[in-house]
Amino acid sequence: LEPRERGYYTGALVMAHAHGFDSWLLIRTFFRDAGGWSVGVGAGITTLSEPAAEARECLQKWDSIAWRAEGGA
């Protein structure tokens, strides 16, 4: 359905350490690899989701981080 893999852009990240676990939901995520930086945003899609509302939510999430990537405070 999609032309390439999504990679890590959403889901959960869990790290175990001596004092227990830490976990994060990856809904606004920056990644850096040999090709440079990339960013991913996502939304929780369910059977009750409205596609247009989910698309708006993704754009709002992107807007909330894009200005920082462009040098915002």
pLDDT at 44: 73
Is 0.85 surpassed by the pTM of this model?
no
Q: Report, as an integer, the average pLDDT of 41-70.
A: 82
Which segment, 41-45, 52-56, 59-63, 64-68, is predicted with the most confidence on average? 52-56
- CA separation for the pair 38, 29 (Å, rounded): 8
Radius of gyration of the chain (CA): 15
